[in-house]
Amino acid sequence: MNIFIRFAFSGLNYYGTQIQPDKPTIQGVLEEALSRIYNEKIKSTISSRLDKGVSALDFAINFQAPNRDFTLDYLAYYLKRSLPNDIFIKEVRQVNEDFSCRYDVKYKIYTYLIQAGEKRNPLLSYLTYQPVKAVSSDRLKEALELFKGTHDFRYFAKPEKEDESTVLTIDSTNLQKKNGIYYLNFKGKSFLRYQIRFLVGACLRYEQNRLSLDTIKRLLNGENIPYQKLKAEPQALILNKLYYPKIDKKRKIDEALVNLN
């Protein structure tokens, strides 16, 4: 039985999502809990590989249950009681045997949070990036606009394999502002390692007059131009939404703000 688990989590206490030896990860914690209840080793598929410190409001795993000894409702109850408080179970359901939470996603929305003004809220320091100086939304938007569409993102990422394709499509980008926080949104089917953080870093470099729009365009065309890359801090990055056409009800695309207020 192929079981799909949807949940949210704070990534501050984890070394990313993918399982690692001797380090707490989201996949590791979930698999440990599942292995205890089924009394045998459980292996899972995760929806995305996220960095250390990155959080998610929408994340998923799926796994093959070795038996039907537990109802889905009981499994959800067990996970809610046994997992740490920084992991919140949203849904447990059975899916088709060929369903994969990694490959069947139609799009993902990532959101990066920046405290915008001179006055900052220290209580949000673990969930936002706090620049030394106030940043201009107009200049951030100019840079963001360039990343929409199909480009070669090799110079805005760190491919994990030599033969990994770096030509990807970002469906849309936008910037929203609420209560002194900028929300930089990126929507697409898949992203490279560190891609969002390097894209945000490029936006910040441009806003600081340390990188030109022309250089960004040339880099997106695959030109190897030396430039000082900036990988934005991880704690401000959130996987905001996953959309699975096979299991999610048809709905209007909602790029809602992450509500921190």
What positions carry a catalytic annotation?
A: 51
**Confidence at residue 259, expressed as pLDDT on a 0 to 100 scale:** 53
Segments in the chain below pLDDT 50: 251-257, 260-261
DSSP state of 258: P
Q: Identify whether 253 is part of a domain.
A: no
Backbone phi and psi for residue 219, each to the nearest 5 degrees, phi listed first: -65, -40
Q: Are residues 146 and 193 in the same domain?
A: yes
- Nearest Cα neighbor of 60 from 45, 77, 72, 38 is 45
Structural domains in the chain (count): 2
Q: Which domain holds residue 14?
A: 2-95
Rounded to 5 degrees, what are φ and ψ at 107?
-155, 160
Same domain flag for 72 and 40: yes
Residues 3-54 pLDDT 10s: 999 999 999 999 999 999 899 999 999 999 999 999 999 999 999 999 999 9
Which of 39, 74, 95 lies at the terminal end of a domain, its last residue? 95
pLDDT at res. 253: 45
pTM: 0.92
DSSP 8-state class, residue 37 = H
Is residue 114 one of the residues assigned to a domain? yes
Please report the pLDDT score of residue 15 as a whole number. 96
In terms of domains, do 24 and 86 share one? yes
**Listed residues 95, 116, 139: the one ending a domain:** 95
Same domain, yes or no: 81 and 121:
no
